[in-house]
C-alpha cells in the first residue's frame, strides 16, 4: 500500500516510520519547508519530499493520504490534496484529537475519510517510535473510513476504539487535562519547592518519583482508591496550613490549590472539606 504524508512533524514522522517497518511503502512527505521534509525522510528511511508542483503525481498513486499538520492547517491541506484528484478508492486520514473527519471531505470524491488519533504525548521522534505502538488510538470517520481504520490498526497491532464525531472535543479535553495539565501541576510543585529553598535537581527527581508512584497506583486502583494525603484523611488542619502557606509565599497558586482540593473532595464525597474550600 502506497502512503503519502502531508506534514512532517514528530507524530507524522514517527507514524510513517512504523508504517514503513510494517511493510507499507512510504511515497514521501509534502512539507512547505523542504529541509524539514528531508529530516523526516531521513528518519523514516524512504520516500521523496514533494512540493506543490510534484505533489499531484504522488496523490494519484497514493492509497492512503495522511495529514499530520497542526489542526489549523488540516482543512487547507485536505483541499490541496483534493485539488490533486485522489483516486476514489483511496483514503484520507488526519491524526487530530480535536477535529472530526468531516473536515477531510472533498466535494465529488468517493474515497473514505477518518481520524486516527493516538492517546499519547509524543515529545519527539524517538519517543513516538517507542510510545505509539503501545498507545490507544481513537477512530472516527465515515463508513468506508472507519472500516479501513480498523484494518489499519489491526495490521499495525494497535489498540483502538471508535468514537462519535460529536464527542471528539470532549475526548480531547480529557486528554489535555490528563497530559498537559499534569505537566502544569508538576511545574507548580517545582515553583513551590523553589520558594521553599529546595530548587535542587535531586529534590525535583524525588518529586517525579512521587508522581510515578501515583501513576502506578492509578494503574491498579480507581482514582478514589489511589488518593492519599490530607483530603483522603479528612485533615482540615493540614489543608488550612497549606492554604496559609500559599497565601504567604505563593498566592498565585492558592486558587489552583483550592479548586483542585474542592474537586478532589467531591470525588471522594467529603462534604465538610467541600464546604471549607468554597470559602
Share of the chain above pLDDT 90, in %: 95
Share of the chain above pLDDT 70, in %: 100
Q: Provide the pLDDT for residue 32.
A: 85
pLDDT band at 256 (very low <50, low <70, confident <90, very high): very high
Decide if pLDDT at 127 tops 90.
yes
pTM over 0.75: yes
Q: Mean per-residue pLDDT for 100-104? A: 97
pLDDT band at 212 (very low <50, low <70, confident <90, very high): very high
Look at phi and psi of residue 28 and say left if phi exceeds 0, alpha if psi is from -120 to 50, else beta.
Answer: left
Decide if pLDDT at 146 tops 90.
yes
pLDDT band at 279 (very low <50, low <70, confident <90, very high): confident
Say how many CA atoms lie within 13 Å of 65 toward its Cβ. Answer: 32
Q: Could you tell me which residues come within 8 angstroms of residue 239 by beta carbon, excluding any fewer than 6 positions away?
A: 230, 231, 261, 273, 276, 277
User: pLDDT of 151-199, one tens digit each?
Assistant: 999 999 999 999 999 999 999 999 999 999 999 999 999 999 999 999 8
Query: What residues are paired with 5 via a beta bridge?
Result: 29, 66
Q: Could you tell me which residues come within 8 angstroms of residue 220 by beta carbon, excluding any fewer than 6 positions away?
A: 226
The residue ranking higher by pLDDT, 119 or 279, is: 119
Q: Mean per-residue pLDDT for 25-37? A: 93
Q: Where are the beta strands (DSSP E) in the chain?
A: 2-6, 25-30, 48-50, 64-67, 91-94, 112-118, 136-141, 159-162
159-162 and 64-67 strand pairing: unpaired
pLDDT band at 200 (very low <50, low <70, confident <90, very high): confident
Amino acid at each position: 500500500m502506497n502512503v503519502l504524508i502531508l506534514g512532517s512533524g514528530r507524530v507524522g514522522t514517527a507514524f510513517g516510520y512504523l508504517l514503513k517497518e510494517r511493510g507499507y511503502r512510504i511515497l514521501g512527505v509534502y512539507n512547505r519547508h523542504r529541509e524539514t521534509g528531508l529530516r523526516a525522510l531521513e528518519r523514516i528511511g524512504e520516500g521523496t519530499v514533494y512540493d506543490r508542483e510534484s505533489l499531484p503525481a504522488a496523490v494519484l498513486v497514493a492509497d492512503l493520504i495522511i495529514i499530520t499538520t497542526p489542526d489549523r492547517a488540516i482543512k487547507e491541506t485536505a483541499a490541496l490534496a483534493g485539488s490533486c484528484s485522489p483516486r476514489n478508492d483511496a483514503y484520507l486520514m488526519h491524526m487530530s484529537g480535536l477535529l472530526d473527519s468531516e473536515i477531510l471531505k472533498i466535494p465529488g470524491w468517493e474515497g473514505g475519510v477518518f481520524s486516527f488519533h493516538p492517546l499519547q504525548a509524543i515529545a519527539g521522534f524517538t519517543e513516538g517510535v517507542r510510545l505509539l505502538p503501545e498507545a490507544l488510538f481513537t477512530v472516527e470517520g465515515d463508513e468506508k473510513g472507519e472500516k479501513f481504520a480498523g484494518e489499519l490498526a489491526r495490521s499495525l497491532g494497535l489498540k483502538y476504539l471508535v468514537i462519535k464525531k460529536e464527542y471528539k472535543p470532549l475526548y480531547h479535553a480529557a486528554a489535555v487535562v490528563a497530559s498537559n495539565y499534569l505537566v502544569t501541576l508538576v511545574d507548580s510543585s517545582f515553583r513551590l519547592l523553589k520558594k521553599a529553598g529546595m530548587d535542587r535537581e535531586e529534590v525535583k527527581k524525588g518529586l517525579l518519583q512521587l508522581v510515578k508512584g501515583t501513576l502506578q497506583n492509578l494503574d491498579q486502583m480507581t482514582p478514589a482508591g489511589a488518593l492519599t494525603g490530607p483530603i483522603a484523611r479528612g485533615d482540615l488542619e493540614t489543608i488550612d496550613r497549606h492554604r496559609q502557606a500559599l497565601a504567604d509565599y505563593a498566592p498565585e497558586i492558592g486558587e489552583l490549590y483550592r479548586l483542585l482540593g474542592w474537586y478532589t473532595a467531591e470525588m471522594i464525597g467529603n462534604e465538610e472539606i467541600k464546604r471549607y474550600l468554597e470559602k
